[in-house]
Amino acid sequence: MHIELIIVRHGQSEGNRDRVFTGHGPSPLTERGRREADAVARRIAEKSVSAIYASDLPRALETAAPIVEKTGVELVADPALRERNFGDLTGTSFADIEARHPDVWRALLARDPLFRPPGGESNADCRARIAGFVEGLFARGAEGRIVLVSHGVAINQLLYHLLGVPVEAPPPVVFRVDNCSVQRVERHDDTVRIACINDRSHLDGLT
């Protein structure tokens, strides 16, 4: 069995631009984000695609739309690919949290895997959700080139899972996963290889 996962972070959203915790909240793409989505779609469509899955949040669906258009492959939206839920922090700026809730800010910076913001998810919760989705693909014997459109924290958590990083401790590294970057993971039989992280060459020259 051979599967290639093309894992895409959504394009720049209004929340990214404004430095706001968006989580499960609505946050459409900016004009730049739409250009990024077109650029990554052109890159992905250079080779055939077997399936396209995306988070059901608006910014991920907007990013997936040009990929669907250029490949002709039907989109399957799945909440398992959503971003971490930041609960009561949703819609609040980073600066406001740092100033008004320094204890919460410190816990977020420490990347405590078990810390849950009020009404939200921990990193461990997010990891279990997205890792479960991908392990389900493996268990069903999915094959070919499969596109996943997700979010920054969720993608980091998936990479930690694939690398076998323990769940109970803060991760030793944080992967830079820019808007509309590509992460490529290959699985042949039971061997998983991470071929690239944060490939954004298709965005060169984007203004």
Task: Please check whether residue 8 is in contact with residue 63, taking contact to mean a CB–CB distance below 8 angstroms.
Answer: yes
Based on the residue annotation, tell me whether 83 is a catalytic residue of this protein. yes
Residue 61, C-beta contacts closer than 8 angstroms, at least 6 positions apart: 54, 55, 75, 77
C-alpha triplet 71, 41, 20: angle, nearest 5°: 135
- Dmax (CA) for the chain in angstroms is 51
Of 36, 62, 83, 121, the catalytic one is 83
Q: 146: number of CA atoms within 13 Å, CB side?
A: 21
Task: Please check whether residue 16 is in contact with residue 113, taking contact to mean a CB–CB distance below 8 angstroms.
Answer: no
* CA nearest neighbour of 159 among 118, 190, 200, 123: 123
Based on the residue annotation, tell me whether 10 is a catalytic residue of this protein. yes
List beta partners, residue 5: 146, 185
CB count within 10 Å of CB 205 equals 6
Of 4, 10, 121, 161, the catalytic one is 10
Task: Please check whether residue 201 is in contact with residue 178, taking contact to mean a CB–CB distance below 8 angstroms.
Answer: no
Instruction: Determine the Cα–Cα distance for residues 125 and 9; give it in Å rounded to an integer.
Output: 19
Which residues are annotated as catalytic?
A: 10, 83
